[in-house]
Every structure is written in C-alpha cells, then in structure tokens.
Chains A and B, each alone.
Chain A
Amino acid sequence: MAKILPCFLICPFFSALTDFIRMIIADDTAYQIPPWNFTLSCFPPNKTDEFHWPSGAPKTSSVSDEDHQSTDTSFNLHDSHPSTESFYCCLWSKHDKNPSMCANSTERKTFVSPTAHSLAWTQRGVSWSIQCWVKMDLKILICDLESSFKNSAETLKFQAHLSYVLSEASQEDSPMVSQKGDFQVVQCNCSRSEDCECQVPMPIAKLSSTSLMYLEITNGVLFLQSPLMSVKLINIVKPDPPLRLLMEITDDGKLKISWSSPPLTPYQLRYEVKYSVKSTETRAQQIAEIVLDTFLLVGNVLPGSSYTAQVRGKRLDGPGAWSDWSTPSNFTTPEVIYFPPKILTSVGSNASFYCIYKHRNTIVPSKNVFWWLNLAEKIPPSHYDVMNAHVSRVTLLNMNATKPRGKYAYDAVYCCQENECHHRYAELYVIDVNINISCETDGYLTKMTCRWPANTVASLAGSMLQLRYFRSSLYCSDFPTTHHASDPKDCHLQMDGFYECTFQPIFLLSGYTMWIHISHSLGSLESPPTCVVPDSVVKPLPPSRVNAEVMAKTGLLNVSWRKPDLPENKLQFQIRYAVNDHGELWKLHQAYGSESTSASFQVLDFCSVYIAQVRCKRLDGLGYWSNWSNPAYTVVMDIKAPTRGPEFWGIVHEDPMGKERNITLFWKPLGKNHSLCSVRRYIVKHYTESNKTWAEDTGNATKVTFPWTELAHTVTVVAVNSIGPSIVNFNLTFSWHMSTVNSVQSLSVHAVNSSCVVLSWIIEPTEYTLMYFVIEWKNLDEENGIKWIRVSSNVKKYYIRDHFIPIEKYQFSLYPVFLEGVGKPVMTNTIPREDTMKQENDPGLYVIIPIVISSSVLLLGTLLISHQRMKKLFWEDVPNPKNCSWAQGVNFHKRVDVL
C-alpha cells in the first residue's frame, strides 16, 4: 500500500508551490466519494470538539480514528504560525456503513494563507453537503455543493474550484500515481443561492475509470481545500429514469406495472416502484417495493380504481445512485374486470373467465353474477364458480369453433347482474386447429414433401403459422405428442392455397412428428400432431418401358412394363386401356404381384389403335399410386384376310358418236371391320362374254375406268391386305341387253329439308331376277359429284341424307340391278326446294302472324279512340272566327247555351 507523501505547508502563493508537490496517492488514502450525499466540514482546530456534527456522524472518531471513512486536512491561517491557525476539513457521510475509516490527518495538512478574516467561518466552522454523480453517457461528472450557510449573501461570496485528474486504470489494478500538475481545474457555478454546481467534462471516460479530485473553496478571506477525494466512475453513475411505464391487468387478474430499463444501461439495475391506489373502497396510500425485474405484479385489483405509479432504478451490484423518478403513470381500472380479457383456444377445449363487477360504486357479490354469451344466450349457472366474495368464474366446456359474425371473429362473454350487463365484455376465440398435414415421399426416396392448407385459421387475423417437427429414430409412437424439443420447418405458400415444406434428405424409417404452431398476439395454439414415416407415404415413379400390342393370333391386347427401381417393396399395378380416339373410355384392370411385368386383355376391336398406361403402388397398401406411365399405343396389324371386297358401282360413259363406251368403277374404301385391319391394294377382276379374264391392280385407288367392248362384261373388286385377298366379293355385270330392261314404273322425289330427300318408286314385274337397286344422285352443276347407294330390292321408299343446295338442280337415278346385269335406270331432275316445308314448319310464322294481326287491331283501335277524342276537343274549343271562315258571323254564346 502506498502512502501519501508528507504534506507540505504551503506558502500563501499556493499556485506557485503546488506544481512541485509530488504526491503518490493510494486508494486507501483518499476519500471514496459515495453515491449519496456526503459532507465537507471545515473548522478551526480549537473547535473540533464543539463543532456541530450532524446527527449520525462519527463525532468522536472524526479526527482520531484512522479507520474512519473520513479524511481531514488542516488549514493554516498564517504561514508563520501554521500549527496554531490551521483549519481541519473533513469529508464524511452519515450513510457510511464503516465509520472507522476516519483517520487523523495531521500529516496531510494543506497549508492555506488567508488574505482576510472571516469571523463566522473562523468561529463556527463551515459545512457543505456534496453529491456527485456521473450521467450514463459518462460525458460529464457533476458535483453539487450545498452550503450550511443559509444566508445567500454569504454564499455568493464563495468561489469554488474542483481540481481533478482522470485515470483509465482501475484503482484495484494499480495504485494511482499523480502529480499535482496533472490536475485540471474547473470553476464551479455558485450563482444559485446556497448552491454550487461543478461540472467536470469527461470526454474519454469509461466505467472503469477513476478520478482523483479535491475542492478549493474561498470567500476571499479564507482559502479552504478539501481532502483528496477518489471515485471510481461506475460507483456514482446515476442511471436515467426507466421508460415506458405501463399498467395493465394480467390474465390472472393482477395489476402489472411494467417499464423499460433506460437504453444502453451498462449494468443490471434494481428498481424501486412506488404506487398508490385510490378508490371508493380505499384511501390513496403509497406503497414502495424494490424489484429486480422490469415489472411488478400487484394483487387484489379493484375495479373502478385509480392507480398512480413511478419507478426509479439503481445499479444492482455495488454502489450507485438512484435515478430520478420516472414520469408518473396513471391507470384507472374499468368497472368490470375480466381476466383474462381475451382467450384464444382450440376446438374441444375448455376455457374459464373470471370477473369482478362494480355496479354503482358497489362491487357485485360473486354469487349474484350471471354470465351471458353474445348477449343472446345465458350461460347455465352450473358453469359458474364463486372464487371469493367478489370474483366469479365461468367455465365453458368442449367448445365449438367460433363462427365469425360479420367483422366479429369472437364470442362476447358478459358478466352481468341479473339481466343487467355492463357494456364491457371478454372475447373468446375458439379456433379449429385440426389442420391436416399430408406428406408424400418421392419415387427416389430422397425427399418428403408435406402440405397443409393455409386457410384453416383464416378467421384468426394476424396469426402466424409455422410447421414444427421432431424426428424419432425409428417409426412413430402410438400417441404422438408436441411436448418434445422441435425444430421449425420453412414452408412456402403455393398457388393452390397450400403450404408446402420439403424434407431432404430423409430418414426413410424415422418417424417425423409434426404439427402447426399458430402464433397470435392473444397466445399460441398447436394443431394435433401427426407422425409420418417417409417410407409409408411413398409415391413411386410410374412403371417404365410400357408397351402395348394386339396379338394377331389371340386377338388379345398385351401390355408390358418394367417396375421402378425403388421402392424395393412389393408392388401392385393398375393398367388402363382404351381405344385411342377423342374421349377415351378407359377400362381398368388390377395386376397384383410384385413380379408382374405384363397383362393381357380380351378386346373386341382388333383393328383399332389402343392406348395403354400403367401405374403402381406398394402391395401392402401404404403410400400412394404413382402417376400413370407415359401412354403406349398399339400398332394396327392385319389379323385376317378381308372378310369381303368393297361395294362398288359403275357408270357408263358413252361416246356421243356411239362408237365407244367406257365404264368407270368407283368404290368406297373398305372399312377396317371388313378389311381386318387394312387394305394394301384393290384388284379389279374382269370377265367378258368371250371368257376373257384378267385382273387389274389399282393399288390404293378407288376408281378405275376400262372400255366396255363386249356385250356383257362382269367385274369384281377384290381387297387385299397382308394376310391375303378378300374371299367374298361383289360382282357387277354390264350387259347391252339388260341395259334396256326397265322394272321401275315411276320415281318421285320430295325434298324434306336441305339435308334429306325422299325417293319413292313403283316396281313393275319382270322376268329377270332383281337383286337390288342402286340410287345414284348428282349435282348437275358439278361434274364429279356422283354419289350412290345400294338399296335392297324390297324397298320402295328411301331417304337420302346429304347436303342438298336448294337452288341447284340434282339428278336422281334409280338403277335396278339384276342377276343378269344392270337394268335401265329411271331418272328425274329436281330442285330440292323446301319452300312449302318451310312455310309449314317455320315456327316464326306462328309468332309473327299473330303479332302482325294484334298490332293491326291495336292500331285501328287507337285510331278510332283518337278520332273520337279529337272530335270532342274540336267541339269543346271555341273556334277563332278570324282563322276559321265558317265561324265568322256565328254567335257562340248562343251555341254554348244550347250545349
């Protein structure tokens, strides 16, 4: 421990000598400035016993006890008699816990040479009450001096200076060694009556900084110097007062006084709260409590009462100064107190509200309280509980979800007296939190995607939804719970209104327990937990290499595929197929067995293109069906030779000179139901009367022309596919003789409408065998518009469906076809007008004609009424003789009399 160097008796020219004074000051040799008020007392040495110490001060030990927290310095009035005229100045505080710190400081005397006498000071001594503190920004140290002289006139004579030196090192770390010349001096402001304020700027101070200082006070006669003072800044920092002082009633019915600690507080604070309550039941009384938290809970809150509170802070550990009191905060409790005022809960749960009800300055006894819901439904008294004389409780059991009523998303719960309810109410939000979380593992077994609807808690505006989960090492427990350390999972809202979250990579056989955590300002809810094992929600990849073909020999549709590599579990398959056209009518088949790679189905139409798809799923039923595979199409193949040849017809073209005749055959392409399934080419076989035969390959053409040179010429058209030629074929014989035979007596044509014409005919018997008729029709305005149809021989009337243009002329021909050859046709030319039909059938006529008639009658009636009206008007008006020649000279007065 360092010691103070011997103090010097200083000459009256203090400033000149002090620069040479070297002092080594240790922590225990300077007065430690406390965070509270302390006193600087100076008195002549012969007055030490008579000096009036304030109560509580260590009167007897102040100058003799070395352990006392007091430091004294003697001041000499004359440099020639220093030992007899010196003043003692002591620093002390009545709050010091250890009064034994005071030491006899004769060795630390500071000599002062006064320039004048001051009787009052020299006779009675003088005291100053001092308080020093540092603001929290550590920019300035302030010491307030309050003189014991109440005479301001004397105070004004003071001049005070504070000398200080700031050190970064803590006193505990190393003794402070300072030279007198290191001290800086600030002049204190003593302009105020009785008080001086010394402000020491500290631009580089830290909390751990330490300052040495001493005061010099003079009134022009005496020059007094305080003992050396030391202070660690953290010990006298004065916090700013707490902020944002609030009062509210908690969910359990207490008054919560809360505040915020001042910003940038470098250490923990403790707080003192003082509050008072004023109500009809109680008088205003002030209560103070010390708390470490930034809130204080006050019980027994009374409705209709006024609370006022203030709070201040102080360093929690170690010495420090109390901050100023915060701005007072007032809070008036409502006449009816609900606690909690709002409840957010889930469907099926129970909820309780408490209430204290003050009605006309009297608290309603809890046994007289009734509860209502939405002012519409009285809650049965069996749900009430009397908690104490004033507190009533209602418990709602197994609640259903709140149905939003307009903008009100809550149920209003009222605390009432009989049928009189206060307008204030508690709010009850019951939310359906049964959110369905569905998960799906991809076909590669590396990713699990979970989805859940976003609109489930739409009624709870301002809520935040978050999926939380935890993973069990294997499988799921039978009763998943949310009471487990969990992690949040990022989920993203999709266009379809679902949130989607992805787990990748995954633990295939681990149980992922997940739930939705709903955060709201009213509280938080959790949906029931769902546990999913990724392996049990696999959606496999669809089967690959799907192939479909119709077997020529069996006529079966065979579909084959390859199972996906994963999952390794046994799979089941579904196969669907349909004829490939617009709007497939699918047929579905199931194939069980993991090893299945193909399936066959009996199909009726061998010649159609079939489309087939396959999908798969685990055989044990877990997981989902895969998507359907890419479609596979069958290739049409001939399965048999065509069942018959095409129907054909021939037209004879005769040279105008009559020398040459040509026959043009044309036929409709053979349908696949007869071709089984395709036609590669057509062959026309010719048979003449002279037994000449030949065949003509027309390829895919459906028309051929050949010369008719012999009296009879028979032709057959054969269809050929990859299997062979058609076996059953039609023949047609063109005979010179038969072309003159007529078996049709008459032919009439009637147009039904533009798409239908009806032909009727009368047959007359012939000696030849009539096989069938051919009706041929063509638009005479077009060259190549011949159409034909084969009609049975017993038919007498036939409706032709075609698109007939009413303004164009058509030729209809009816050919009898005999076994011996084509007979003579009956022809008729007609324009298929449908005027008559239209008139009969046009529904517009039935509407327009009555309207026209009605309008005419109405018009006629109107004219008649108008005529009568005009007649009356003309007769009632008196004609102007100037404008009306016939009225000139007529006496209308008489006429009126007559009328």
Chain B
Amino acid sequence: MLWKLLREHLQEAQRLLPLGTTGTFTWERKMHCVALCSFLWLCHHLYYTQAVPIRKVQDDTKTLTKTIITRINDISHMYSISAKQRVTGLDFIPGLHPFQSLSDMDQTLAIYQQILSNLSSRNMVQISNDLENLRDLLHLLGSLKSCPFDEADGLSSLGNLEGVMEASLYSTEVVTLTRLQKSLYGMLQQLDLIHGC
C-alpha cells in the first residue's frame, strides 16, 4: 500500500517536473510538490518508526533514567547527605517541579547537563553523557509521537555562576545531583503517565 502511494506520487512528480522544464510553477504544481515532500517525509518517518520501535525507545528512556539515578546513588559522598539540610544561593539549579511535556523534561535536563559539564570529574562527565543520551531519547520519542519540541535554552549564560560553582564546588555538586535525582524520579513517574507528548 505504501509503495503504491509512493509510486503514484513519484509519477505525479515526474509529470510535474519533466526533464528540461524551465517554466514557472503554477500554484497548483507547488501544492503538489508540497504534498510530495510531505509524503516523502511521512515515508521517512514511518521507516524510522519501524526501524526503532517506540516501545524500545520508551524502555531505553526509563532504563537510562534509572541508570542515572543509580549512578548518583553510587557516588560515595552522596550516601551521607542529609535530606533535611537546605542549601541556599544555588537557585540556578532547577528544583523539582512536575513536568508538563517531553519538551519540558528536555529543557530541565539541558540545564542539568550544562551545570554538570562544568563540574569536572569522571563521574560528572559520565552522568553528563548519560543526560545527553537521555535528551536524545526524549527528542526521538517526541519525533516518533510527532510532538512539538522547543529548542532547549539551557542557562543562557553561566556568567557569575561559574564563580559560584568554583567557590562552592562541593555544594554545587551535591545539590545538583540531589535535585537531578529527584527530577529523574519525577520524570520516571511522568513517563508512565504521559501517553501523548
């Protein structure tokens, strides 16, 4: 069925664009071209959907989220962090808030990734890489579901934050990882609930 549709569109395209034609397009022809392009995009989308099942992407997203949570748990100095103690002055680190969409998740993760990339240690680099993969998965999931995706802004400029991080490296790391872990837990629950975008 798909091939039949494709063949029809290709024939239409050949009819509209004969070799050596240099004349101007009519509005109707332009519409046909748009339809053809849309169809080709659809074909590509369907092919890709078939190549990477959405179920696999969802599973990988959850598994990778759990993996990052476990990684944070396994960092030695995270064992003894008191949940009661509140650290002030690190407001640029996102707090826990309910995610509205896949795009929202991506936005939040982008900020975490940006902060982690400034915390230079092997653990942080690995978690930053995981976040990049996780964001890629969210993008893929979004594209498979045809969800609108906003370009992640991240922190527009770290500015003085670099100075804050440099002076309070340990605090920044602990707070970032703690909040990231909570965000990931929230994301994990949300992924089960979100069936759309």
Contact = CB atoms under 8 A, between A and B. Distances in A.
Interface string A505-530: 11111100000000000000000000
B129 interface: yes
Given A474-B140, A507-B133, A509-B133, A569 B122 contact: no
A474 B133 contact: yes
A475 B52 contact: yes
Interface in B62-84: 63-64, 66-67, 70-71, 73-74
A877 interface: no
B125 A505 contact: yes
B104 interface: no
Contacts of B60: 509, 535
Interface string A441-466: 00011100000000000000000000
B63 A569 contact: yes
Given A474-B133, A509-B133, A567 B67 contact: yes
Contact of B64 (A478, A506, A508): A508
Contacts of A535: 60
B70 A566 contact: yes
A857 B158 CA distance: 112
B132 interface: yes
Nearest to A620: B59
A379 to B, nearest CB: 42
Interface of chain A, main secondary structure? loop
Contacts of B74: 444, 565
A473 B63 CA distance: 17
Given A505-B122, A505-B126, A507-B129, A566 B137 contact: no
A519 to B, nearest CB: 31
Contact of B67 (A473, A474, A510, A566): A566
A568 B63 contact: yes
B67 to A, nearest CB: 5
B136 A508 contact: no
Most buried by A among B64, B73, B74: B64
B72 to A, nearest CB: 11
Nearest to B70: A565
- In the complex, which range does the number of interface residues on chain A fall in? 20 to 34
Interface in B127-147: 129-130, 132-133, 136-137, 140
B137 A509 contact: yes
A536 to B, nearest CB: 10
A567 B132 CA distance: 18
Contacts, number: 51
B167 interface: no
Contacts of B122: 446, 504-505
Given A474-B140, A569-B63, A508 B52 contact: no
Interface string A213-257: 000000000000000000000000000000000000000000000
B46 to A, nearest CB: 15
Q: Mostly helix, strand, loop or mixed at chain B's interface? A: helix
Interface string A411-452: 000000000000000000000000000000000111000000
B132 A507 contact: yes
Contact of A567 (B63, B137, B140): B63
A509 B130 CA distance: 8
B133 A568 contact: no
Contacts of A445: 67, 71
Contact of B129 (A444, A475, A506, A565): A506
B132 to A, nearest CB: 7
Nearest to B125: A505
A510 B64 CA distance: 12
B51 interface: yes
A567 to B, nearest CB: 7
Contact of B133 (A444, A478, A508): A508
Given A474-B137, A565-B70, A509 B126 contact: no
Nearest to A508: B133
A597 B125 CA distance: 33
A568 B59 CA distance: 11
A510 B133 contact: yes
Contacts of B66: 568
A475 B133 CA distance: 10
A509 to B, nearest CB: 5
Contacts of A568: 63, 66-67, 70
Contacts of B70: 565-566, 568
Interface string A549-573: 0000000000000000111110000
A504 B71 CA distance: 15
A474 B70 CA distance: 21
Nearest to A472: B136
Contact of B136 (A478, A504, A506, A509): A509
Contact of B126 (A446, A473, A565): A446
A473 B133 CA distance: 7
> Which among A444, A445, A505, A510 has the highest number of chain B CB atoms within 10 Å?
A505
A565 B71 CA distance: 9
A571 to B, nearest CB: 12
A592 B69 CA distance: 25
A755 B37 CA distance: 96
Contacts of B52: 475
Interface string B39-64: 00000000000011000000010011
Nearest to A569: B63
Nearest to B63: A568
A166 B126 CA distance: 64
A478 B137 contact: no
Nearest to A564: B70
Given A473-B136, A568-B70, A509 B125 contact: no
Contacts of A508: 64, 67, 129-130, 133
Given A565-B74, A566-B70, A509 B64 contact: yes
A598 to B, nearest CB: 22
A473 to B, nearest CB: 5
Nearest to B57: A474
Contacts of B137: 474, 509
Contacts of A567: 63, 67
A10 to B, nearest CB: 75
A236 to B, nearest CB: 57
A569 B51 CA distance: 21
A508 B140 CA distance: 16
Contacts of A475: 52
B58 to A, nearest CB: 13
A776 B74 CA distance: 69
A505 B63 contact: no
A444 B133 CA distance: 17
A357 B126 CA distance: 63
B122 to A, nearest CB: 7
Interface string B112-130: 0000000000100110011
B136 A505 contact: no
Nearest to A475: B52
Nearest to B122: A505
Contacts of A507: 129-130, 132-133
Nearest to A505: B126
A473 B67 CA distance: 18
A444 B73 CA distance: 12
B113 to A, nearest CB: 12
Query: Quick one: which of B51, B66, B133 has the most chain A CB within 10 A?
Result: B133
Contacts of A565: 70, 73-74
A507 B134 CA distance: 10
A445 B123 CA distance: 11
Interface of A: 444-446, 473-475, 478, 504-510, 535, 565-569
20 contacts: A444-B74, A473-B132, A473-B133, A474-B137, A504-B122, A505-B125, A505-B129, A506-B129, A507-B129, A507-B130, A508-B64, A508-B67, A508-B129, A508-B130, A508-B133, A509-B60, A509-B136, A565-B73, A565-B74, A566-B70
The 8 closest A-B pairs by CB, nearest first: A568-B66, A505-B126, A509-B133, A474-B136, A473-B136, A568-B63, A507-B129, A505-B125
Given A566-B70, A566-B71, 5 more contacts: A445-B67, A474-B136, A507-B132, A508-B64, A508-B130
